[in-house]
Structure 1
Amino acid sequence: MRLIPLLTAIAVAAGLYFLVFERDDLLAFARGETAEDTAAATASDAPTNPESTAQLASQNRIGVVALRSEARPLDSAVILRGQTQAARQVEVLAETTSTVISEPLRKGAQVKAGDLLCELDPGTRQATYHEAKARLIEARSRVPEAEARLVEAQARLRESQINLVAAQKLSEGGYASETRLAAAEATERSAVAGVETAKGGLEAARAGIEAAQAAVAAAETEIARLTITAPFDGLLESDTAEVGSLLLPGSLCATVIQLDTIKLVGYVPETEVNRIDVGARAGAELANGLRVQGEVSFVSRSADPTTRTFEVEILVGNADLRIRDGQTADIAISAEGTKAHKLPQSALTLNNDGRLGVRIVREDKTAGFELIDLLRDTADGVWVAGLPDTADVIVVGQDFVTEGVAVEPTYREAGQ
């Protein structure tokens, strides 16, 4: 065991003991007085003379340096860390089975909405389409014939109905036999059946037209699927499918991303989410030093079940494509401001309970302790809340005084 660290620890402990528990004797020793002189001075001033007490208190005040701080408005931004994300990213997939016959486009190429990405071999699809068109023409030609049959059947029905009425009247007057009446009734029923049959034929002809039209539409859709185009303006994130490769339904033709508008995506804790509104201004600094600004476009209403944080999206213009997908970003979202004091970091201290605060000079020239909330840390100081609008904050000597200790402050300007 080394001896020097042990002796150092003993010396530090002894120094702390005398500083805390033997403060008066230590100060007297520093002034060159002995313990007997201090005791004699205390005994001589023992009478309760107000003037002597005030003089003694003035002599025992501890000198400190204080800063008279005025509260100022502070835009209390919500700070979070996130990353950039493409506004849109789509994997363009094939919807039919065929081989690629177009030359591939290489990743990084810019495409416009509707530009050809992959063209597939039509095969027998054109023949299928022409066959469906022919069937449609044939089905349409059957409709006039069916309509003519219906008109003819309806005329026969009217004729049979007239003959039936005549036979009934003659039979009632005894001028026609029952056999003739029965024959007229049978003819009328046959004409009714003929009308129904003609109507069914007309409906079948019309259904044939609809079936043929559906076949034509299916053939046209199948042919349209042979041409795979870009869904929006963007960049190719991958090469398009190579010529000669076989694509099946769901096979990847290309990946297109949109970067002219980009999203900043971050996650805010549940204690801060209510401070963020859609449309709020936001700024971010990327890992490469680039600074951008935008507006909050989305605040999630559902927390992540693992982290209990809420997703926030910010839209940022990126016409020059300087921002890439997936870059790290430090995001600051503007929120409702508050009044705060800007103090040097050295002014912060802890009380006996370990809580953060500052020592202040009260009106009776005694030291006090005020709890503070740390709002923002900057290179030239910290912004804190929890103090009165005007406060004399001890910036030098705060660690040598406690609550109620008499002090003799020396004030300095805020810029010093």
Structure 2
Amino acid sequence: ADPRPAAAVVALESVARPFEDRIVLRGRTEADRRVEVRAEISGLVASAPIRKGARVAAGDPLCVLDPGERPANLAEANAYLRQMEVEHQAALTLSQKGFTAETESLTRAAKLEGARALLMRAELDMRRLILAAPFDGMLESDTAELGALLQPGAVCATLIALDPILLVGYAAERDVDKLTVGAPAHARLANGRAVEGAIRFVSRAADEATRTFRVEVAAANPALDIRDGMTAEIMVALSAAPAHLVPQSALTLDDAGRLGVRLADGGAARFVPVTIMGEAAGGVWLDGLPPRATIIVVGQEFVSDGHPLTVTLTDKNAALR
């Protein structure tokens, strides 16, 4: 038996309860899609501008360019193709009858393919006169002004898609493996509005500067009233796990510097290392303890493993106050 006199300690009987852990990310809202609709050919804008804030559907024209000589070029390409078709057929017939060399027929065939390519380019130029919305969204800028000259690459309009809206945060290295695509999440915006969604993306590569991982939550926004760039606090609930709620003052360190608590086990003290899973009013949730434990809450700093104890039990509610 341990020759040391029994130490008087106060302990509480604790039973593990389900603890629903959660991860909190600070972030912002972000448009699901954003694109600058740009001209592929040069031309004067022939359509009236659409003002920023307008909602548009996929395929709606945003800028229409003056066709200039392009309709004439298309008609010329059509006529040239018909001519090449006639000449190719004639050359083919003469070649089959032996009146011309086969090379003449091949030359006409090459010219026919060139005429077809010329027509395709003319038709493509006509289609490029209309700069259409690539998806349903909202204009973030006015479309180009009537009469403005757009060169290839010039911006007609900036379009964003806000439904769904993205809630973007960054998870620490210790938390990122707990997050899974499809897991439900909810957020509170800076204006107090609550938003619900599901995780859509968890980055596999950390930000080089912060060593955190980008997390995207997609949330429905049919009215488009959640704006891009709003501050958001994102919360992801994790699966429940058994844990003990104990007063923070019960925590102690062993000689190796490990965090833990001391239990009254069979009339003697025993150190058990723990992991803090979360905080609550008046205490902390701990993992690493058996399902039932007698945790020393007063006097744990003055005993070591195997020290005999005289235990006084306390009410758990009193201990957590």
Question: Is 1:391 aligned with 2:293?
Answer: yes
1:122 to 56, 67, 83: 67
Closer, same or farther: CA 147–368 of 1 in aligned 2, 3 Å: closer
Corresponding residue for residue 32 of structure 2: 87
Q: Which amino acid aligns with 1:285?
A: R
Aligned counterpart in structure 1 of residue 124 of structure 2, from 208, 221, 233: 221
Contact 1:68 1:414 in 2 (8 A): no
User: 3-state DSSP class of the match of 2:114?
Assistant: helix
Pairwise CA RMSD? 2.9
Greater helix share, structure number: 1
The separation in 2 between residues aligned to 1:128 and 1:260, in whole angstroms, is 42
Change (3 A) 1:398 1:226: farther
> What's 1:68 paired with?
13
Structural mapping, 1:170-185, within 5 Å: none
Query: Does structure 2 conserve the Cα–Cα contact (< 8 Å) formed by 1:342 and 1:381?
Result: yes
% identity of equivalent residues: 44
27, 49, 52: which one pairs with 1:107? 52
Higher RCO (CA-CA < 8 Å; seq separation 6+): 2
Contact 1:91–1:252 under 8 Å retained in 2? yes
Structure with greater strand share of residues: 2
Q: Report the counterpart of residue 305 of structure 1 in structure 2.
A: 208
* Bigger radius of gyration among the two: 1
1:112/1:313 Cα in 2 relative to 1: closer, same or farther (>3 Å)? same
Q: In structure 2, do the counterparts of structure 1 residues 249 and 296 end up closer, same or farther at CA, with 3 Å as the change threshold?
A: same
TM-score, normalised with respect to structure 2: 0.85
Q: For residues 314-393 of structure 1, what are the structure 2 equivalents within 5 Å?
A: 314-349=217-252, 356-364=259-267, 369-379=271-281, 381-393=283-295
Q: Name the structure 2 match of 1:235.
A: 138
The change in CA–CA distance for 1:400 and 1:135 in structure 2 (over 3 A counts) is closer
Q: What's the offset of the Cα at 1:227?
A: 0.7
SS in structure 2 opposite 1:332? strand
Q: Offset at 1:265?
A: 2.5
| TM norm structure 1 | 0.67
What is the Cα deviation at residue 300 of structure 1? 2.5
Residue 231 of structure 1: how far off its partner (Å): 0.4
Structure 1 residues 410 and 151: CA distance shift in structure 2, 3 A: closer
Given that 1:361 and 1:409 are in contact with CA atoms closer than 8 Å, whether structure 2 keeps it comes out as no
What's the CA shift string for 1:33-89, capped at 9, x where partnerless?
xxxxxxxxxxxxxxxxxxxx99xx68xx6463x432111222333443332222111
* Letter in structure 1 aligned against 2:28: Q
Judged with a 3 Å threshold, the aligned counterparts in structure 2 of structure 1 residues 378 and 105 are, in CA distance, closer, same or farther, namely: farther
Residue identity in the other structure for 1:77? R
| Partner SS, residue 240 of structure 1 | coil
In structure 1, what is the Cα distance between the partners aligned to 2:30 and 2:225?
A: 13
Question: 1:297, CA displacement in angstroms?
Answer: 2.4
How many Å separate the matches in 2 of 1:113 and 1:211? Answer: 34
- Of residues 41, 47, 56 in structure 2, which corresponds to 1:96? 41
Q: Which residue of 1 aligns with 2:180?
A: 277
The aligned counterpart of 2:109 is 206
Per the alignment, residue 24 of structure 1 pairs with none
Q: SS of the residue aligned with 2:181?
A: coil
Once the 2 structures are TM-superposed, how far is the Cα of residue 399 of structure 1 from its aligned partner?
7.2
Distance 1:208 1:127, change over 3 A: same
